[in-house]
Amino acid sequence: MKTKTWVELPSSKYDIEYVLTKDMAISSSKQILPLNPKRAIKRYFQRSSYKIWKRTSKMSPFEMKISDLNRVTRRDGYGDGTAVMYIREIFEPGDVEYDYINDYVFAAQLSQEQVDRLRIMILPQRREEILVSYLDFYKNANQQEHIFNESTDVVRHFEGFHRRYSELAAEEGKEKFDFLFCFTFTIKTYCGWILKFESTKKRTTMIGILAKHWRKLLGKYTPAELGMLYFVLVWSQQHALTF
């Protein structure tokens, strides 16, 4: 989805594209779905007084949130082309509207409640490099099943990660966060090892150590010190919420 700001949302892993106007999708042969929650999920709200279709501004909730995201990135010094990744998309399997969506959603029709589901992380260059390295390694490894056992090899790779993480100096909080987030995100993305039953004790130890690292890191440093911008696209009058 392209806007007038530098921010361009990542491609949806569910093949959903958000367009602001019909003109933006007119060259495609894909079906365009103007998602009207009053009609699409009417049965879910027949007995409810909750309003999910209330426009309070000339700008749609989606446009306002993208504008807020742009202000935050400019404020915090992120340059054009900085990587952006989804933590949570607007529509994902399990959402009541999901089965009504085809290829396109008119973003200007989204309600505030729908837009507020969006979770985005902005990645500084170093964090992006580490994450891409981990993801590429596990993607290639999973394509070579004859030499890669998801369960035992993930534990073995964790041992290497743990040594490298432990060698970082105590004051290198931002660097520690980069490695810890990227490794954790990657083994969540390629999660087949969870369903395997070998090395159960070692896997339990691995999860315990990861949890300990997270508790210690988040307890010692502030989000700003860690270089974290977990932008939830919920804008208060003072600042964007961070995690």
Say yes or no: 84 and 156 in one domain: no
Model pTM score: 0.70
Domain membership of residue 178 (yes or no) is yes
The pLDDT of residue 6 is above 80: no
Say yes or no: 100 and 152 in one domain: no
Tens-digit pLDDT profile for residues 70-127: 887 777 777 766 788 888 999 999 999 998 887 788 888 899 999 999 988 888 888 9
Which residue's structure tokens are 């093949």?
15
Tens-digit pLDDT profile for residues 112-126: 999 999 988 888 888
Domain membership of residue 78 (yes or no) is yes
Domain membership of residue 6 (yes or no) is no
Say yes or no: 134 and 94 in one domain: no
| Helix residue ranges, H only, the chain | 37-40, 61-75, 112-115, 125-142, 150-167, 173-189, 200-220, 223-226
Say yes or no: 176 and 108 in one domain: no
Say yes or no: 73 and 118 in one domain: yes
Q: Which residues contact 2 (CB under 8 A, 6 or more apart)?
A: 8, 24
Domain membership of residue 232 (yes or no) is no
pLDDT band at 208 (very low <50, low <70, confident <90, very high): very high
Q: Which residue has better confidence, 1 or 206?
A: 206
Range of the domain at 133: 125-226
pLDDT band at 139 (very low <50, low <70, confident <90, very high): confident
Say yes or no: 144 and 154 in one domain: yes
Say yes or no: 91 and 138 in one domain: no
What is the pLDDT, as a whole number, of residue 234? 36
What is the pLDDT, as a whole number, of residue 166? 92
Say yes or no: 90 and 149 in one domain: no
| Number of structural domains found in the chain | 2
The pLDDT of residue 52 is above 70: no
